Amino acid sequence: MFLVVGLGNPGAKYAGNRHNIGFMAVDEIVLRHGFSSWRRKFQGEVSEGTLGGEKLLVLKPMTFMNDSGRSVGEAMRFHNIDPSQLIVLYDELDLAEGKVRVKLGGGAAGHNGIRSIIAHCGPHFIRVRLGIGHPGDKNLVYPHVLSDFGKADQVWLKPLIEGVADHFPLLIEGQEANFQSKVHLAVNPPPPKPPRDEKKKDDD
């Protein structure tokens, strides 16, 4: 079984925040792949389904971002899930808007939700980092992540979320590079090929 966690803050006040892109991504995974309805458990909301022949438990911690590890740790202990089977989706300041990167293990890189999960579960889990861009000034980081995505952001945000959900089975199958490539193409589709000129008929 895989435990798939989306990070965010609970409540309507935060629903559209950049910090909540993890919630948005797992909501789309559950919707697109016909998982069960959300229910309260493990200090969060959970949904269940199957992808790539594997059972998935999807979790949105309702503990607020800084305490996400309490919810994640509880779910992992209950189901005896190995950290290598934990996949966490979250916002990444150090990636350009619309970028996605997958990696196993590492530090928190200043992300409080990841720091909390490391404290409760250790560092050896899979991270799906969803780029939200950096405001350019460290003093603007806090208001940036807690501000809503704007209309202009939908150009890349919608295809990013849909691309992650559509191609998530590749990640479950261990095809990290293929997953990243497919999501990149979803966000940056190649321009349409120009129509081929019809072969001129010889009038002679």
Active-site residue list: 19
Range of the domain at 158: 2-187
Residues in the chain: 204
| pLDDT score recorded for residue 56 | 98
| pLDDT score recorded for residue 194 | 81
Q: What angle (nearest 5°) sits at the alpha carbon of residue 70, between those of residues 117 and 113?
A: 40
* Residue 137 within any structural domain of the chain: yes
* Residue 64 within any structural domain of the chain: yes
| pLDDT score recorded for residue 191 | 86
| Tens of pLDDT, residues 79-113 | 999 999 999 999 999 999 999 999 999 999 989 99
* Residue 49 within any structural domain of the chain: yes
Rounded Cα distance between 157 and 67, Å, is 26
Our count of domains for the chain comes to 1
| Ramachandran assignment for 174, one of left (phi > 0), alpha (psi -120 to 50 degrees), beta (any other) | left
Instruction: Residue 16: give its domain's CATH number.
Output: 3.40.50.1470
* Residue 158 within any structural domain of the chain: yes
Give the pTM.
0.92
Question: With bands split at pLDDT 50, 70 and 90, how would you rate the model's confidence at 30?
Answer: very high
Q: Is the pLDDT of residue 199 over 80?
A: no
| 169-198 average pLDDT score | 90
* Residue 146 within any structural domain of the chain: yes
| pLDDT score recorded for residue 197 | 63
Token digits of residue 80? 């005896």
- The H-or-E segment that residue 30 falls in is helix 21-32
| Tens of pLDDT, residues 111-139 | 999 999 999 999 999 999 999 999 999 89
* Residue 197 within any structural domain of the chain: no
* Residue 83 within any structural domain of the chain: yes
Q: Is the pLDDT of residue 204 over 80?
A: no
* Residue 80 within any structural domain of the chain: yes
| pLDDT score recorded for residue 25 | 98
| pLDDT score recorded for residue 32 | 96
